[in-house]
Chains A and B, each alone.
Chain A
Amino acid sequence: MKLTFAYWGNYTIAFIALLRTLGVDFISPEKTNTATIEEGAKLSPSMYCFPLKVNMGNYLSSIRKGADTVLMVTSLSGSCRLRYYAAIEDKALAEAGHKVDFIIFNQSYKDIYSKIKEISQASNWTIFKAVCIFLKKLRMIERLEKKAQYIRPREKIRGEIDEVLKWSFQELDEKHNLKAISVLEKEIYQKIREIEIDRNKKVPRVGIIGEIFTVTDNMVNFDIEKKLGEEGIEVHREMNISYYLKKILFPCKDWIMQRKIMPYLKSTVGGNGRDAIYEMLGYGEKNFDGIVHLLPFGCMPETTVRPILEKLHKQTGMPFLSLSLDEQVAEAGIATRIEAFVDVVKNHYFRKEEKS
Chain B
Amino acid sequence: MKIGIPRALFYWKNPYLWEEFFKSLGEEVILSPETNKEIVIQGTKISDPETCFSMKVFFGHVFWLEGKVDYIFVPLMKSNKDKLEYCPKFFGIPDLAKILVKTPILTETFDQRKRPIEETLEKIAETLNKDQKTTRKAIAAAFAREKEKKAKEEHDFYKTVKSEKKKIVLVSHPYNLYDDYINVGIRKKLGDLGIETICIDEIPLNLGLKFSPEVKFHWEFGREIMQKTEEVLRYDIAGAIEISSFQCGCDAVLKEFVEKRFKQSKIPFLYLIIDEQSGDAGVQTRLEAFVDTLK
Contact = CB atoms under 8 A, between A and B. Distances in A.
A308 B94 contact: no
Interface in A31-86: 45, 47-49, 78-81, 83-84
A307 interface: yes
Interface in B127-141: none
B249 to A, nearest CB: 4
Interface in B50-101: 50-51, 76, 78, 85, 87-89, 91-92, 94-96, 99-100
A271 B92 CA distance: 13
B222 to A, nearest CB: 9
Contact of A91 (B48, B92, B260): B260
B255 interface: yes
Nearest to A271: B88
Contacts of B88: 78-80, 268-271, 273, 300-301, 304
A269 B253 contact: no
A83 B87 CA distance: 13
A306 interface: yes
Interface residues of B, number: 34
Interface stretch (A178-186, A224-232, A259-267): A259-267
B218 to A, nearest CB: 7
A9 interface: no
Contacts, number: 95
B247 A298 contact: yes
A263 to B, nearest CB: 9
Contacts of B51: 303-304
Interface string A293-332: 0000111110111111001000000000000100000000
B229 interface: no
Residue of A266, A270, A301, A303 with most chain B CB atoms under a 10 A cut-off: A303
B256 interface: yes
Contacts of B248: 47
Given A47-B248, A87-B214, A298-B247, A303 B255 contact: no
A304 B247 contact: no
A304 B214 contact: no
A78 B92 CA distance: 13
